[in-house]
Chain A
């Protein structure tokens, strides 16, 4: 890097003031940021990334405290500037955070708030011009119909849209540098890939330097020129991106890279399908579930959200079945159908050959015992004022399986099995880590000795290391108890590691079902390709985002377009796709995909 650096960070330390003194969060951080450079910062959760990103924009509130060091911009230390002076500097220093949903006042239109900000930091811009600039920029970040969107409220924006709007908010004053803290974290992979692409484009257009902070190395390496590795509040390594990935110096970086799951490299474990058994344990037949929501601004009309549409598949005993898709694709509704929290409007869910919609009383209790659910959020899924032993005991009492001394023994043995120390029996879940909490959740399900565990995003709140350990545990439990797992997830890398068969959902439909390796190496549906092209990975991509990923977001499940629901984002869409909706079609073996192109290749092959 040549020329004078834009931003100089020297010996920056931030601590947390506690009763007994100051506990350091980050210490001795120093780096330079060159104009137009994209600097990536990575580190595991708790490494101090967010605190660092906030320190760069002088957003350290008590109990956090800057204990030493300086952030020098234009030969001023912005940590020392009085509030008034700093405010005029805000036009040159911009920040985008990880929580797009909460970043703007929910009661005012988005456009109006961006104008408000621009006029607050640049009062000389007349209102009309500010407005015009905002609308132009909303268009530039590819928000469709920016004129209308300008007047809409934050709640009417999807996460991806909102993140774009916030990028507009940050760039509207033409800042010299932008701090982007985990901006893609709440977004789906395909949307995250679009946002990332957009940010790279904008830096060249606006001459903005970016500090890009994330916990995902693949993501950062996609965006950044150089990468800074943060471990326990200290910079342990700084290298040009390619070099860092190829020749990591510090052991911590090496460990970080080794934990990134492989998708296409040969190291990826092949999952053997279980010995094929005749009877499926779960069988969904043409299940559909819709919800009615009242239309705003009408007297009594309702619109129908079609959350799950004509889903059909079988899960066989001993399988690891994956269901993947992005937010809003109907995964969670499907989970609710599978666990009979809800019944389908039409179609059937058969478990062990029984239609679970008809179960009641004893039969239902038996079903619940065999089909257990493990939820996503480790914090809200455990009652905070109940001891861990009591939490795990409860299912045993509900099902009348054990009582008295037996209870304790059963619970302790399950706790041992999932790797929880018995000493936790009388503890409250208060001090447990996310990983331990998920173990309690698993124990609570396992104590009933179920046949099937439905894992609804069970691992998505855990970091790589914890995920790894829990997956090992799941494997072990499967071997010992002959469990069947249904993984509902948005994390393709995780699915690649554990599932033998995968169903891909888009807008309530299953668009593809295939064996693991077929899905990853020869996907039959363009949406699967788009998903694969957007997975953050350090490997050479089999599918280029440029070829597979179109701009835009899924249409609303309320106004489904006619024809194939993926048409609006499909690079291969042709005439027929706009009129007819393809059905799942066999493409050799047991693999299915719902795309007209599959039929074509088959007929060609036959001809």
Chain B
């Protein structure tokens, strides 16, 4: 019953957030300079033709009318078609106006559907790496505040946080794939191609996780129920595993929910560097090409993912600590 009401309430809130994000992106895209029709039709196309195409595509209607039309499609599951990308694959644009392939532009939903799983795989692996590493470093640090494990955790997170991801990506690619030949780096041809970009993303995520984990483990270890647990006859390992980690995991979970947004930013850079065919790479090309429907589609999907993950995080947190109420 609680879970149901929680989900209903939060999903309603989430739908509103996604809607507002869409409205914002939609308006901004149309306000900023850069006419997508000019890009589509090419620099040589006559002005009158461009106006004609723009009218036909409805791009000269008031923004709210355009938005209404667009949302009408979205609720039916239709995110529209890309302005630039043909269904066949390669992206077009520029000079070749009158190209026959233009008639069959790619569905935004299909484009996202192809790239999203790749990015989820990358992001998921990155979070896994980051979590495993943070646990290994952060928990000993939290159990020995002020002593060497704590300092090690602090140094590692300080170093990690000061590594720029684009630099680290290039260095790791040089080292692990060019020099040592252990891992493939560029493009995608199997699961192994995910590992290197995931490591780069994990290094970006880990420092904050480590700091939070050391802090919250150390904080929980100061709680009276931990000290009393010993007097009650619980063993130290049981106190740590069953009680300290359980309580310390709540702030960590909340942090992961927030870190997802940081991860989305990191994905843009990392996928670009490794030419990884995911959502990030798609976003970058879409933005460069003023591909309005694709940018909007990506914005809706990513904000929905963000909302969902945070709902899931809050739900899990409430299940761990029933005092929390979201």
Contact = CB atoms under 8 A, between A and B. Distances in A.
A102 B225 contact: yes
Contacts of B233: 87, 90-91, 117, 120-121, 173
B232 interface: yes
B147 to A, nearest CB: 13
B231 A117 contact: no
Interface string B1-31: 1100100110000000000000000000000
A118 B224 CA distance: 19
A59 B230 contact: yes
Contacts of A121: 232-233
Nearest to B226: A105
Measured as residues with beta carbon below 8 angstroms from the partner, the interface class of chain B is: 20 to 34
B5 A299 contact: yes
B235 interface: yes
A117 B232 contact: yes
B234 A117 contact: yes
Interface of B: 1-2, 5, 8-9, 223-225, 227-236, 238, 242-243, 246-247, 250, 320-323, 325
A276 interface: no
Contact of A103 (B2, B8, B224, B236): B224
Given A104-B225, A105-B225, A121-B233, A116 B321 contact: no
Nearest to A170: B232
Contacts of A296: 2, 325
Contacts of A105: 225, 229, 242-243, 246-247
Given A116-B242, A155-B322, A296-B325, A102 B9 contact: no
A99 B9 contact: no
A297 interface: yes
Contact of B223 (A102, A153, A294): A102
Nearest to B319: A107
B320 to A, nearest CB: 6
Contact of B238 (A59, A120, A299): A120
Given A99-B224, A116-B238, 8 more contacts: A87-B233, A97-B228, A103-B224, A103-B225, A106-B321, A107-B320, A153-B322, A299-B9
Contact of A95 (B9, B231, B320): B231
Contact of A120 (B2, B8, B225, B235): B235
A120 B234 CA distance: 6
A102 B224 contact: yes
Contacts of A116: 234, 238, 242
A505 B247 CA distance: 38
Nearest to A169: B232
Interface in A18-59: 57, 59
Interface of A: 57, 59, 61, 83, 87, 90-91, 95, 97, 99, 102-108, 116-117, 120-121, 153, 155, 169, 173, 294, 296-300
A412 B235 CA distance: 57
A90 B232 contact: yes
Contacts of A97: 224, 228
A83 B235 CA distance: 9
5 contacts: A90-B232, A105-B225, A106-B323, A121-B232, A299-B8
A155 B324 CA distance: 11
Contacts of B242: 105, 116
B281 to A, nearest CB: 42
Contacts of A298: 1, 5
Of B2, B228, B246, B320, which is in contact with the most chain A CB atoms at under 10 Å from its CB?
Answer: B228
A299 B1 CA distance: 9
Nearest to B3: A297
Given A107-B246, A296-B2, A298-B5, A57 B320 contact: no
Contact of B2 (A91, A117, A297): A297
Contacts of B230: 59
Given A106-B321, A107-B246, A299-B9, A59 B234 contact: no
Contacts of A300: 9
A577 B229 CA distance: 45
Contact of A297 (B1, B223, B228, B320): B1
B225 A61 contact: no
Interface pairs A-B: 9 shortest CB-CB: A90-B233, A102-B224, A121-B233, A297-B2, A107-B321, A299-B5, A105-B243, A117-B232, A155-B323
B8 A59 contact: no
Nearest to B5: A299
Given A103-B224, A105-B225, A297-B2, A90 B231 contact: yes
Contacts of B321: 106-107
A296 B318 CA distance: 12
A137 to B, nearest CB: 15
A117 B232 CA distance: 7
B235 A87 contact: yes
B321 to A, nearest CB: 5
B222 to A, nearest CB: 11
